[in-house]
Structure 1
Amino acid sequence: MSNQIEKVEIPGKFGYGTMSLTWTSNPQAEEKSIETIKFITSHPEFGVKLINLGEFYGPNDSNLKLFEKFLKSNDPNLNESLVVSIKGGLDVSTLRPDGSKENISKSIENVVSYIPKENRPKLIYEIARVDKTVPYEDTIGYIKEYVEKGIIDGISLSEVGKESIAKAIKVAPISCVELELSLFSQELIDNGLLAYLSEQQIPIIAYSPLCRGILTDSTVENSDTFLTKIPETDFKHHLDKFKPEIFKQNLIPLKKLYDFAHNVKNTSLESLALSWILKLSGQKNFRGIEKVTRILPIPSGSTPKRIESNFGNIVELTDEDLDEIEQILKENPVKGFRYNEQLEGTLFQ
């Protein structure tokens, strides 16, 4: 047992998001997903050590069950080298956050039941959203108890604003904060959150770095059919950027970024989008920030081929490239909320 709480150090430049493996209308066979996780965690060039999971990523703990099978089939020594960030703490029936002691305990105990005790990865736990009915510092305190017992290794935060982060860091060291960031979703830069986290030097785990698949070559090259090929039951249909009129407007900056990626940087749009985030990570003197904190994008990808497409063509961007990209988006502003008007109040809490 240990009561010494420290931040969990996260190695590498990237993480890997697993939501698309299980929280989808038609998940692929488990064997294929396990093969993909093995591929991304062991690749000699861009292998990642941070895996992002969700207790609610699919019905009946399917995301946790998949990861359990991966760990059992993987080299135990490789398992020990991994860091796993797991979101939980939601009422699964309503997907509303429940930060009560009872629910946090139930959630953490459920999560760790799927992780073998021997040769296990480092475990970072986060409540997926802020429960406004429970003081946030109390919720973080409940999670802290499990770190002190050695059941988990660290604490992360998700979809938080400055006020919640300030409350959390008074309770315990925070290993990272998971927030949305992409070329098409730069709110955390504009609202001062990037500056605040950079002051604290708390790493950011950047989810949806390809804006849920919009920032890809395929989207531009198949823009006429992109929306119609999304399954009817897909959550994307509720998001602003996937509404036909907004998507049509956003095609203007999207095509300009595509042209910049191919004609100036000789790479794909998805690689440009990820390279942009990696360029921001640790950047000095960026929009008044002396030194930007570490930012680790967590793109997904359900097959080795998609993984290679997303991770395999990262390019070095110059300060001039950053300026040019910023100018494209300044002249052609991106339209639409990150989610939609109804859900806007649940973000950056």
Structure 2
Amino acid sequence: MRTTAWGSQGLEASIEGLGAMGMSAFYGDRDDEESTATLNRALDLGVSLIDTAEIYGPFLNEQLIGSAIGHRRDEFALATKFATHVSDDGERGPVDGSPEYARTAVERSLRHLGMETIDLYYLHRVDPDVPIEETIGAMSEFVTEGKVRYLGISEAAPETIRRAHATHPLTAVQTEYSLFAREPETNGVLDTTRELGIAFVAYSPLGRGLLTGTIASATDLEDDDFRRNHPRFTDENLQRNLAVVEKVKAIAETKGVTPGQLALAWVMHQEGVVTIPGTKRRKYLEENVAAADIELTADDLAQLDEAAPVGVTAGARYPEAGMRAVHL
């Protein structure tokens, strides 16, 4: 796994990190034993950025990472996030970007992780009621205090990114990006991160699993999998999206790779982009890691552009409530 600069502030990590969310939340039953093995296998394979958030559980994912690989702390950079107000007993509230909550969240995350420093600390969602300068200003204090090394922001609009970066230099901007979610190419986010020297961190690079070619129906998902209520997985939308997957599959077959690997390779071939595919199983981790070695030609990229152009996906990225919280 090759290492690259994540932005221009000094953070270096593998071009492909590991998103740990699904190990503890949103994607069906937990299996902490397999998740622990997967986290350790990731480090063995050279994956050196692990991504989590306090809301994953809440708290369970941070605690899992601390217990599973805390003893290997010098082998990886740890990214976590805050935004949704969560009480100490796990009750969720609205997005809260206040300086007071930022401090509560960072100190609690450090306790749950069992770590002294967070390498990359994100504002998970922008609070429309708190000026971004106040939130980032509070987060910059954590850098001064040694609690955090670098700052990031997630699902923010270009102007918000610029204002945040002017308050304290950002290392990373995290947004959904894949062959099924190419909006950052047209809404100014990618142009902004490239201009400012900020790493663009693509989450859900496999289209929430659709681009693996292993999902044929929402009934393939566990009963408590949040994708069952996701617009892109409803019957009519899903069939239209699966037609695109078939085109990606056909291209992948000519390369001798899986469609998921091809989709990941496409993301990693984009300028200034790193990625954090998520999985809770070793076999999928190993498949994802192998994608970092795939070379794509200009013809390959052109074929993928034709198969999955901007706007091809049927259905919104999130249900209506979730969409109201992105790109602010």
How high is the TM-score relative to the length of structure 2?
0.90
Secondary structure (helix, strand or coil) at the match of 2:218 reads: coil
| Structure 1 runs not aligned, ≥5 long | 1-5, 281-291
Match of 1:243 in 2: 234
CA contact (8 A) 2:204 2:277 kept: yes
The Cα of 1:171 is off from its aligned counterpart by 0.9
Amino acid at match of 1:333: V
RCO higher in structure (CA 8 A, sep ≥6) = 2
In structure 1, the partner of 2:99 is: 101
Decide whether aligned partners of structure 1 residues 154 and 37 sit closer, same or farther in structure 2, where only a CA change above 3 A counts. same
For the residues of structure 2 that align with 1:151 and 1:8, how far apart are their CA atoms? Answer: 16
Alpha-carbon distance in structure 1 between the residues aligned to 2:206 and 2:310: 21
**CA–CA distance in structure 1, aligned partners of residues 107 and 310 of structure 2:** 50
Q: How far is the alpha carbon of 1:8 from its aligned partner?
A: 4.3
- In structure 2, relative to structure 1, the CA distance for the partners of 1:131 and 1:242 (3 Å cut) is same
**CA distance in structure 1 between the partners assigned to 2:282 and 2:224 by the alignment:** 26
Which segment is superposed worse, 132-141 or 89-98? 89-98
Matched letter for residue 168 of structure 1: A
Aligned length: 316
| Residue ranges of structure 2 left out of the alignment (5+ in a row) | 1-7
List per-residue Cα deviations over 1:233-270 (Å, max 9, x = no partner).
Answer: 322122211111100111221101111111x2111000
Which of 225, 230, 250 is the aligned partner of 1:259?
A: 250
Moved more, 21-30 or 161-170: 21-30
Indicate the residue corresponding to 1:41 in structure 2: 43
Partner of 2:156: 160
State the match for 2:312 in structure 1: 333
Identical-pair percentage: 28
Map of 1:69 onto structure 2: 67
**SS at structure 2 position matched to 1:212:** helix
- The reply on whether 1:311 has 2:295 as its aligned counterpart is no
Contact 1:265 1:315 in 2 (8 A): no
How far 1:22 sits from its partner (Å)? 0.4
Partner of 2:54: 55
Aligned mates of 1:324, 1:137 — CA distance in 2? 42
- Measured in 2, the distance between the counterparts of 1:331 and 1:340 equals 20
Contact preservation (8 Å) 1:14, 1:48:
yes
TM-score, structure 1 length as denominator? Answer: 0.85
Corresponding residue for 1:289? none
Could you report, residue by residue, the CA deviation over 1:76-122 in whole angstroms, capped at 9, with x for unpaired residues? xxx123111101131133453201111111001101113445xx665
The answer as to whether partners of 1:90 and 1:127 remain within 8 angstroms in 2 is no
Question: Does the CA-based 8 Å contact 1:85-1:124 persist in structure 2?
Answer: yes
Aligned-partner Cα distance in 2 for 1:29–1:238: 23
Preserved CA contact (<8 Å) 2:77 2:119: yes
Contact 2:179 2:309 in 1 (8 A): no
Greater displacement, 137-146 / 316-325: 316-325
Residue 23 of structure 1 aligns with which residue? 25
Deviation of the 1:26 alpha carbon: 4.4
